[in-house]
Amino acid sequence: DGGITQSPKYLFRKEGQNVTLSCEQNLNHDAMYWYRQDPGQGLRLIYYSQIVNDFQKGDIAEGYSVSREKKESFPLTVTSAQKNPTAFYLCASSRTGLLETQYFGPGTRLLVL
């Protein structure tokens, strides 16, 4: 079955530590995205990538970094510069083109110790 996987399901970060969230898709989609969700709020775009080796900042990119070395993978690193990282992180993918539907993974919940 095609889909999007995210790991781990829960992640704990210590102060000053960088952590990496994994996102893999086998839908053969060119575009991938990272969103952040805070309690009681909608999703906000962190980064997105329309093609391998290229990515753009979203609305809240500060304190985050990404890479896109393979079509199937779009890992997100939460750096120590992100002062309020506790949130639910969702990865999505879509075909490229105007107004394409984005499909989401199960999410990773990041907690700060």
Contact residues toward another protein (CB under 8 A) are: 31, 33, 35, 40-45, 48, 50, 58, 88, 90, 92, 94, 96-107, 109
* Shortest CB 90 distance to another protein, Å: 6
CB 49, min distance to another protein, A: 9
Measuring CA to CA, which residue among 40, 39, 33 is closest to residue 60?
33
Do residues 64 and 46 make contact, with C-beta atoms less than 8 angstroms apart? yes
Minimum gap (Å) between residue 59 Cβ and another protein: 8
Residue among 18 and 56 whose Cβ is closer to another protein: 56
Q: What is the largest CA-CA distance in the chain?
A: 41
Our CB check for another protein shows the closer of 14 and 99 to be 99
| Cβ distance to another protein smaller for residue 2 or 97 | 97
Pair 103, 4: CB distance under 8 Å? yes
Return left, alpha or beta for 106; rule: phi > 0 is left, psi -120 to 50 is alpha, else beta.
Answer: alpha
Strand partners of residue 90: 35
Q: Nearest distance from residue 50's CB to another protein, in Å? A: 7
